[in-house]
Amino acid sequence: MGAISAQPLPNSVCLETPQLSSKSAPRSECPSSRQRQLSSSDNYAYRGQSHSIPSYRHPLQPPKASVPVRHFTGEGKNLEELWQQFFADPSQWWDYRFDKTNVSHPDFKHKHTKEALWIDKRSNPDWVQAELTTLEVGVVQQSTFSWNTAIKQHVRIGHDEKAIHILKQMQEEGLVPDNFTFLWILRACASSGTLEEGRHVHSMVSQQGWESDVFVGSSLVDMYAKCGSIEDAYEAFNKIAIHNSVSWTSLITGYVKCGQAKKGLELYRQMHLEMVKPDSVTYGAVLNACANCLALEDGRLVHAQIIESRCKLDDFVGSCLLDMYVKCGSIEEAWNAFNSMHTRNVVCWTTMIAGYVKCGFGEKALELYHKMQWQCINPDTVTFLAALHACASIAALEEGRCIHSKIIESGRESHSLIENCLVDMYIKCGSIHEAWKVFRNIRKHNVACWTTMIIGYVKHGLGEKALELYKQMLVEQIQPDSGTFLYVLHACASAAALEEGRHIHAHIIHSGCELDTSIEACIVDMYIKCGSMEEASEVFNKIVQPDVVCWTAMILGFVRCGQGQKALQLYRQMLLERVEPDSVTFVAVLTACASISALQEGRRIHVQIIQSGCIMNDFVGSCLVEMYVKCGSIEDAGRVFNNLGSRNVVCWTVMIMGFAKCGFGDTAVQLYHQMQMEKVEPDAVTFVAILNACACISALEEGRCIHAQMLRSGTEHDNFVLGCLIDMYAKSGSIADACRVFNNMKSRDEVAYNAMIGAFSMHGQGKEATRLFEQMCQECLKVNNITFVSVLTACSHACLVAEGLYYFESMNAVYDISATMEHYACFVDLLGRAGQLNEAEIMIERMPYVSIPVWRTLLGACRIYGNVKMGERIAEQLLDMEPENASGYVLLSNIYAAAAGQWDRRDTAQRSSLERQVHKERCCTRFDVSDHFHMSDLTILSH
């Protein structure tokens, strides 16, 4: 763009000169070589002084008062429309600027409509002066003031680059910028972030000696701070001759915006020591510094200084004060400050609403949102966002729907942040359908919207739907970010979609996000949960420096695959590489110790837990108790339990289950009562543990009391708990109570049927057990190993040989269930009770297992039927397999005692038993709750 001059315009924007005759043209419009010095009555203030440029008057022109001035602007058109018409096609306008002799005459007049325009008219729009300069039809006067006016207008409308360009053009014309020029140009550099251009302007400021000026110097500080060069800002601050509140505030604000809030507070203290009085902008900057570094005490001190200085707590300072208290976690002080404010705008209300949401008071936030509207304060976009977050935090679906309607009424439903927040709100309120409806109506989906919707499907257990959405996202060419990859990997893990996970892994590598440690750990976890430990190990081994999350994921993977020894080896390797374990790591390795009964390794890890300080973690404490219980050391488990600072329901349940499993049912019941005295509410797993304890000691009355507590707690609808209740009543001798519980169940699953069949079997009601088994099959429920153990036991107790043989043969042929040692033992017991000893012996010899308990079962049948020869043969086999076990001698001596005339042989068998110093094995109950429930699942259920 060329310099502004009185020369004809370039061809592109040339204004034609009117060809008027002497008859038709007024004298005032005759061509003349005189150039008009434009008048301007614009005032501008700087450093407290007001400057006014007088209007120009021609020497021959009469006084202005005697000449009425009429500015014709056309019919039905305002100045805005006329100037827009002028800039659209300047060639349609006569240019009288260089030839008119009367200041009242127009500068431009339309060739056809005769509409007129004046450059210096007061009512001209602000943007006109800037556009005139751009099109080189601006002010003719080449004074610094005119250039400054054009620069100012450009900066005000956001045309920072044009303003900087005008400065360069001004220098080309030989004009020297003044302090006013530098103020506006530095503001342009600050808003556009052009640091290099700002440094160039700084050199010009230095050359003209304006660095020490407080206003120019403050503008330099502000420019450097906003451009991210806080060191240059500090240097410029030190060159200012006298520091006032403006310069101090500029530097403090700069440090706060650059993330150095503590330095900003130090500068404020220094400003206070130099007796410079802060203004409202200063207080706002310092309060922001306190908020950023969570300096609550400093914030309180600044609040006191604001009150002491009698500074008006306006909307700006008030909102900064509220924000400081909220971010520092003192919501009560924020509320007190809010109530002390005389005027509260939408920013103050929104700050309080968002503060309550952040502190976990969603209901209070919504209450404040409604109160704000009652006081006729219309919410803005940020207010709606805070209100939606409040609804999401407390799952207030109906309230969220009302706010959604209000957003539609305000016309803000198409705002990208609002759209994303609506989707998130509906997801967290449990309405995935409405979330999808909002998502579907979004015109332009960004990556945040897609990710939010994918997260929603994953959290609702719809992993396959999340993967479909991910594929659709790629079809629409939206590039996923790290957050998207994290949750689609979770979707693959939850759906066990190994092939899909491999494709996503390849996409991650292609996008360059693989180096993100959280994504690396998620890839490892995905492969583990999809059952591919080989690929998980391959990814893990490629990680340069795996963090504790990656190590823990691998350890958990080996634990889940039943490879506890490998998990412990990996843990040792992790310690060698000086990676500090966290609470989740300790839980994983304790579970590994429990799975392989590695008591000594568990004790070593216990010491490491104490050294790390994680022993106070309830999660770790409960796993430590569980590890000792499963490793058979109930004493160590009790010591850990007693030393725990706080014991949650998981810790109590683990201890109760441990005592019950070890056969100390009375102790388990006492512990349950102690738990209730400490006001710890039992959950479903606790009821399972205590019912098992009652079953072990046949505590019928105690079991009935627990049944009543279950009814009060609402856990009577849990089929697994009801199955344990049926088993408790059966083992406690009340088959009638067991039947009553079973008949009152609303829906019966495999667990309930197995428990009831086992109850009938226990009480010798074989016909009822087999009838219930047939009913179970008719309802298409899946039978398992436990079902057939109960049915075969029932047939054995009722001597139903034919039925037992049928069920035993149908296991593999019909239900595809391979017979285990327990099934063989039940069938041998059935044959033995029926007196079919030879068939039973043949069955044992055909077994794929070598089972000593099954041989003992047959030896017991030999005693019942007095088969001495078979008994001696079986006893000899037992003695060969277990020479130190007394059970064979005992059973053989009983066979001799039962047979007439065999007392001498019995005495011989007893003497042989004493000579070998063998002991009878302790008998224990067959039913174990661990057949149905794994103790390591306690921690999962608790969360």
Question: DSSP letter at 347?
Answer: H
Q: Is pLDDT above 60 for 164?
A: yes
* Residue 204 CB neighbours (<10 A): 16
Give every CB contact of residue 147 below 8 A, 6+ residues apart in sequence. Answer: 166, 170, 175, 181
pLDDT for position 940: 29
Rounded Cα gap, residues 633 and 437, in angstroms: 56
Could you report the per-residue pLDDT of 757-768, keeping only the tens digit for each?
999 988 889 899
Residue 731, pLDDT above cutoff 70: yes
Nearest to 480 by CA among 524, 446, 439: 446
pLDDT band at 34 (very low <50, low <70, confident <90, very high): very low
Distance of CA 527 to the CA centre of its chain: 22
Beta bridge partner(s), residue 117: 108
938's tokens:
């306690």
Q: What integer is the mean pLDDT of 336-351?
A: 88
pLDDT at 10 (0 to 100): 33
Distance (Å, rounded) from C-alpha 386 to C-alpha 348?
12
Q: What is the mean pLDDT of residues 791-807?
A: 89
pTM (two decimals): 0.60
Element (DSSP H or E) covering residue 920: none
How high is the pLDDT of residue 458? 92
Q: Which stretch of DSSP H or E encloses residue 149?
A: helix 144-156
Check residues 124 and 434 and name the one with the higher pLDDT: 434
- Separation between Cα atoms, residue 396 and residue 239, nearest integer Å: 57
CA distance linking residue 907 with residue 756, whole number of Å: 44
* Distance separating alpha carbons of residues 478 and 453, to the nearest angstrom: 14
Element (H, E) at 163: helix 160-172
Average pLDDT over residues 350-360: 91
Phi, psi torsion values for 61, nearest 5 degrees: -80, 135
| pLDDT at position 338 over 70 | yes
**Per-chain mean pLDDT for the chain:** 80
Biggest alpha carbon distance in the chain? 164
Residue 779 has pLDDT above 50, yes or no: yes
Tokens of 850: 């070598």
Lowest mean pLDDT among 58-67, 222-231, 311-320, 344-353: 58-67
The two structure tokens encoding residue 425 = 């709100």
pLDDT of 4 over the 50 cut: no
Model pLDDT, residue 74: 42
pLDDT digits (tens, 9 = 90+) for 170-201: 888 777 888 888 888 999 998 888 889 989 99
Predicted pLDDT at 693 = 92
Q: What is the pLDDT of residue 48?
A: 34
Q: Rounded CA gap, 20 and 28, in Å?
A: 12
Q: Positive or negative, the Cα torsion across 186, 192, 193, 194?
A: negative
CB 42 within 8 A of CB 148: no
**Start-to-end Cα distance in the chain:** 70
CB 852 within 8 A of CB 886: no
Cα gap 353→364, rounded to integer Å:
8
Tens digits of residue pLDDT in 669-689: 999 999 999 888 999 999 999
CA proximity to 362, closest of 385, 408, 329, 395:
395
Both tokens assigned to 205: 């400021």
Is 901 a residue whose pLDDT tops 80?
Answer: no
Torsion of the alpha carbons at 206, 160, 261 and 310, rounded to the nearest 10: 90
Q: What is the pLDDT of residues 732-760, one digit of tens each?
A: 999 999 999 999 888 888 889 989 999 99
Residue 507 is encoded by which pair of tokens?
């996409």
The pLDDT of residue 21 is 34
- 44: enclosing H helix or E strand: strand 43-46
Mean pLDDT score, 868-890: 73
Q: What is the pLDDT of residues 227-284, one digit of tens each?
A: 888 899 899 998 888 888 888 988 998 888 888 889 989 999 989 888 888 888 888 8
Alpha helices, H only, 242-330: 245-257, 261-273, 280-292, 296-308, 315-327
Per DSSP, helices labelled H in 581-644 are 583-596, 599-612, 618-630, 634-643
What is the percent of the chain with per-residue pLDDT over 90, rounded to a whole number? 27
Per-residue confidence band for 211, with pLDDT thresholds at 50, 70 and 90: confident
Q: Which two tokens stand for residue 298?
A: 């400093």
